[in-house]
Structure 1
Amino acid sequence: MDRLEQFLDRAERLLERIEPLLPPVQTAPDWDATTAFRWQRRAERGYLEPIAVTPRIELAHLHGIERQKTTLLRNTRQHLAGLPANNALLWGARGTGKSSLIQALHRAFAAQGLRLIEMEPEHLTDLPRLLPLLAQRPERFIVYCDDLSFDASDHSYRALKAVLDGSLNGCADNVLLYATSNRRHLVPEQMADNDQARISGGELHHGDGVEERISLSERFGVRLSFHPFAQERYLEIVRSWIEHLGGSDGDSEAARQAALAYALDRGSRSGRVAWQFARDWVGRQGLPAAEHV
């Protein structure tokens, strides 16, 4: 064991000794302090931490995902009205607006009683601890899990399946789970999975192991796909962000060519790349000409 490993081992043992001496955490937060919270875990104890500052993303700012926006907006309205609604999985390419859409929905409906609780993927097994705290509240909650995925050897997805089928939809009627992922079925798909597949009546049937993993994504009644944007859609989003940031030359050929070069350099045409380019472009245009690099 090298010196770094020895140091980390001693530090971990020291934290374990200090933990009982720390003041107890408050599991139930001040519900009036904010409209967004983050589930934290200290040792084996979980608690809700208020999030003072949330992203200022408006639904009107999100372009190129109208179908996804309409579907999730309707599902969220049903939830707020106390009507039946579904857990949602937003999957697809990075930077295409999955997380931004959930954050924008929270901002749009916070005044109507919608509360957002951010939860790390590895903490989802704490849902049975969290739900009793929420079940008696008058607000409507969305538990938001960003970048949810499981390794092929990680069997904790089975615990999440049980929660989605049981507690989340049963005991806490005022709670939904909205998750984002880069993977359609939340778990990696291997070439070896095809070895278990069989053909019956002209139809492909996966092996039991694959079927079990796929069944996790099927627990989400709303499944929305997000794909990279075509060039013209990407440029349309660039123009929109430039206008939003106070620029006036988003339609210029110079902005168009620079935006395409920016996307090529990053290997992606996405809403995130469009936003980043627009910030860079408007910022550079605001500098005196002598300060341009």
Structure 2
Amino acid sequence: MDESALERIAAALERLAPAPVPPTDWLAHPAYVWEGVAARPVPVLDALPLDSLHGIDAQKQALRNNCARLASGAAAHDALLWGARGMGKSALVRACVADVQRETQNLALVQLALGTLPTFPALIAALAGVKRAFLLFIDDLGFGAEARAEMLALRSLLEGGIAPRPAHIRLVVTANRRGIVERQDTSGAIHERDERDDALALADRFGLSLGFHPADKDTYLAILEGYTAPLGLAFDPEEAMAFAIQRGNRSGRTALQFATELAGRAGLSL
């Protein structure tokens, strides 16, 4: 084969090869999505104003304070947000980060895309030398036999090793399963006890653990009023309760959905 043929083959192979992944500018954006090999920047963080989240005042203060400490370079905890679905766990994470970012850009949120937990060490390595604080976000952590490997991997990562995780990198994890922190029940099949023990061992590794509980009627209506009052909208409590019953829960999410319905009827944006 002559030299020109080899050059043509080399050129063709070069055209077929994927383009190199551009380096991530970890200082330029408020948030990122880690996709396993590289990060996708999020130029605008989708977050509700912190004041618009109702019925979780203690949780708001605790997580907001932890985020502010992380951004300032002070000691901060890894955080676990657990409990009832629809009560604002994920929304609170985004809202707290966005609220801190109004004061300083020295904090960024990095959400781990589904299935990227095995690449967690690569993400830590990429962030280790960056002069900015990062809150790594694992949303809706699964449990049970199908997710046990992921849970054990996360526990191992939180335990650390001979190379400690830098102090400017902390985790926040949300989980809908209440059993992640419950200790009193020792009954059940062996595999169920093993899963529960794994969950407890993981929960113990978070310095900040915040529970989110189902809203009672008064709390649900108060959350709803927090959304509707600024718009001058009145609502019928019986209709609001019927809306919640249709969806099978009273939660902050349900209250927001009903407020959206009321605003839409009135021709308003929420």
TM interval, shorter chain, is: 0.7 to 0.9
Structure 2: which amino acid aligns with 1:142?
L
In structure 1, how many angstroms separate the alpha carbons of the residues matched to 2:224 and 2:179?
31
**Contact 1:148 1:186 survives alignment (8 Å):** no
* Equivalent position of 1:257 in the other structure: 238
Alignment of 1:75-94 (within 5 A): 75-94=66-85
Structure 2: which amino acid aligns with 1:270?
S
In structure 1, how many angstroms separate the alpha carbons of the residues matched to 2:229 and 2:34?
36
In structure 1, how many angstroms separate the alpha carbons of the residues matched to 2:77 and 2:163?
9
Deviation per CA, 1:114-171, whole angstroms, max 9, x where unpaired?
Answer: 1000113521221110112111112111001110113325323222111111169923
Report the CA distance shift for 1:84/1:32 in structure 2 as closer, same or farther (over 3 A): closer
What is the SS of the residue equivalent to 1:77? helix
In structure 2, how many angstroms separate the alpha carbons of the residues matched to 1:243 and 1:50?
35
Report the CA distance shift for 1:284/1:108 in structure 2 as closer, same or farther (over 3 A): same
TM-score norm. by structure 2 comes to 0.82
In structure 2, how many angstroms separate the alpha carbons of the residues matched to 1:242 and 1:168?
52
Consecutive unaligned residues in structure 1, runs of 5 or more: 1-19, 198-205, 288-293
Q: May I ask how many residue pairs the two structures share in their alignment? A: 248
* Equivalent position of 2:21 in the other structure: 25
In structure 2, how many angstroms separate the alpha carbons of the residues matched to 1:169 and 1:215?
21
* Equivalent position of 2:154 in the other structure: 160
What is the SS of the residue equivalent to 1:225? strand
Q: Which runs of 4 or more aligned residues in structure 1 lie more than 4 Å from their structure 2 counterparts after TM superposition?
A: 206-210
Report the CA distance shift for 1:102/1:207 in structure 2 as closer, same or farther (over 3 A): closer
TM-score norm. by structure 1 comes to 0.76
Match of 1:215 among 198, 201, 216: 201
Alignment of 1:51-62 (within 5 A): 51-62=42-53
* Equivalent position of 1:276 in the other structure: 257
Report the CA distance shift for 1:157/1:74 in structure 2 as closer, same or farther (over 3 A): same
In structure 1, how many angstroms separate the alpha carbons of the residues matched to 2:42 and 2:124?
19
Consecutive unaligned residues in structure 2, runs of 5 or more: 1-15
Match of 1:38 among 33, 37, 55: 33
What is the SS of the residue equivalent to 1:155? helix
* Equivalent position of 2:221 in the other structure: 235
Give the alignment's Cα RMSD to 1 decimal.
Answer: 2.8
Identify the structure with bigger relative contact order (alpha carbons < 8 Å, sequence gap 6+): 2
**Contact 2:84 2:178 survives alignment (8 Å):** no
In structure 2, how many angstroms separate the alpha carbons of the residues matched to 1:214 and 1:116?
26
Instruction: Give how far 1:192 is off.
Output: 9.4
What is the aligned-residue identity percentage?
A: 34
What is the SS of the residue equivalent to 1:142? strand
* Equivalent position of 1:133 in the other structure: 126
* Equivalent position of 2:13 in the other structure: none
**Contact 2:142 2:175 survives alignment (8 Å):** yes
**Contact 2:117 2:150 survives alignment (8 Å):** no
